[in-house]
Structure 1
């Protein structure tokens, strides 16, 4: 399952550094972890269970930045099921 443009638009924003952010998007619950710059780097997308875990899919961001701060590579990789 590839991420679509509306979800990528949400993930393209800056958030609080080094936190877990929870959002509701359509019928999906999103939970993502941010890096020290506030960029989302780990995404869980699916349905939130009663225990707070997301049952669905897990994605990881491949982000490569050069010494001057320009983004060289930025894409999301599907890593499989989240909370089987």
Structure 2
């Protein structure tokens, strides 16, 4: 599974800092963990089971910032199945 342009738009938004955000995207359930700035850094995408856990894929965001806090590099690594 790859992160497409529509999902990238959702992931480029800023959310509540240091929170766990749950939402539905198209036919998938999403759970995102945000950093101190409110940027998603961990993504679970798939279908929720009866216990509320996601069965699907896990992604981790790699952010590289300069001294001023500007983003220099930003990409998502696929970490496998969950």
TM-score range, shorter chain: over 0.9
Query: What stretches of structure 1 of length at least 5 have no aligned partner?
Result: none
2:46 aligns with: 46
Cα distance between partner residues in 2 of 1:21 and 1:70? 24
Question: Aligned-residue CA RMSD in angstroms?
Answer: 0.6
Cα distance between partner residues in 1 of 2:42 and 2:73? 16
Residue pairs, 1:1-84, within 5 angstroms? 1-82=1-82
> Which portions of structure 1, spanning 4 or more consecutive aligned residues, are displaced by more than 2 angstroms?
none
Q: How many residues in Structure 1 have an aligned counterpart in Structure 2?
A: 82
In the TM superposition, what is the alpha-carbon distance from 1:2 to its structure 2 partner? 1.4
Q: Helix, strand or coil: the match of 2:36?
A: coil
Q: Helix, strand or coil: the match of 2:60?
A: strand
Query: What stretches of structure 2 of length at least 5 have no aligned partner?
Result: none
